[in-house]
Every structure is written in C-alpha cells, then in structure tokens.
Amino acid sequence: MDKNQTIILGGGCFWCTEAAFLRVPGVLSVKPGYAGGSKPNSTYEEVCAGDTGHAEVVKVEFDPAVVPLEKILELFFLIHDPTSLNRQGNDVGTQYRSIILYSTDEQKEFIMRYVEQIKNNYQKPLVTEVKKNDVFYEAEEYHHNYFARNLDKAYCQVVIAPKVKKIEEILENY
C-alpha cells in the first residue's frame, strides 16, 4: 500500500480521539463526525439524543508509509477502553461506543486479524464494533480542533488533556 488511507474510529468523545490522533506523525488529517447509524445528515444534538444510531467518530487520513494501519489500531486501542459497552468514562450512550469503520476489504481483513490477536490482552471481552463505513457526516465546525481551541474548559483539562498526555508519552517510545 503506497497511497494514503482513511479509517473511521469511534472511542468515546470525538474531541478526545481527534486531539490524540492529531499528534501522530503520518496522520494527515483528523475530522470529527458521525457514522455507524442510519439517520441521514445527523446533527450533534440528534446524535447526542441517541436516536440516530451514529457514534461520535473521527475520520483519520494517514500515510501508511509513515504510520501503518497496525500503529493506528494500536494507538486507538490504547486511548480508550474497548471493553466498555456504550460508554467511555462519564460519557454514556451508544454514541460513545467503540467502533471501527473500514473502507476496503483489505482493511477489514487486517482489522479482524488485529482484533483477534489482541483480544486476550484484556480481562473482559472486546465490544468494539467493526463494520464497513457507509457514510460519514462531518461534525459542525465548532467541534473541529476542539481541544486546542478550548484549553481552558474543564472537560478539556480533566478528560482530554490526560488522553493527549498519554498518547504523547506512547509516541515518545515509538
């Protein structure tokens, strides 16, 4: 694979996932949005209400020559709890579920093998949903780069900053 790839990941609040993946060398762009559900053109309010079936996700475009899909998945599983059903910390609801949306059959096969390899690393069963991405709805502009634009907000300090610190520490060891 010598061209850029895209994968959609949901591991709780998309502000956290976006902030973490923006720090990864080889990641070219990270866009927050909604996917995995059935309601077209969903908004943040609708997704938060829980009736769309969508999860808060990020669309990650990356250069596999710099950061292979395996590293993307490794980081994804390290920055959220893939054994927690429909919740990450205090964020509760199906919109916060653990989900990977692949774009090619090759990605699907790789992801399924990867999940099979790591599942025994956890004391509880993995609940991460893996499915083909049908559609991605980009989040409203005020969600983009939320952490960097709202460092003084309590949620950013208490919830996002520790995840950012964790990924920065992990990246130092790569």
Nearest 5°: the CA angle 58, 61, 98 is: 30
Of 13, 16, 48, 156, catalytic: 13
Q: Which residues contact 40 (CB under 8 A, 6 or more apart)?
A: 135
- Give strand pairing partners of 27: 62
Residue closest to 21 by CA, chosen among 101, 100, 75? 75
120, 96, 98: which is closest to 47 by C-alpha?
Answer: 96
Is 48 assigned a catalytic role? Answer: no
| Catalytic positions | 13
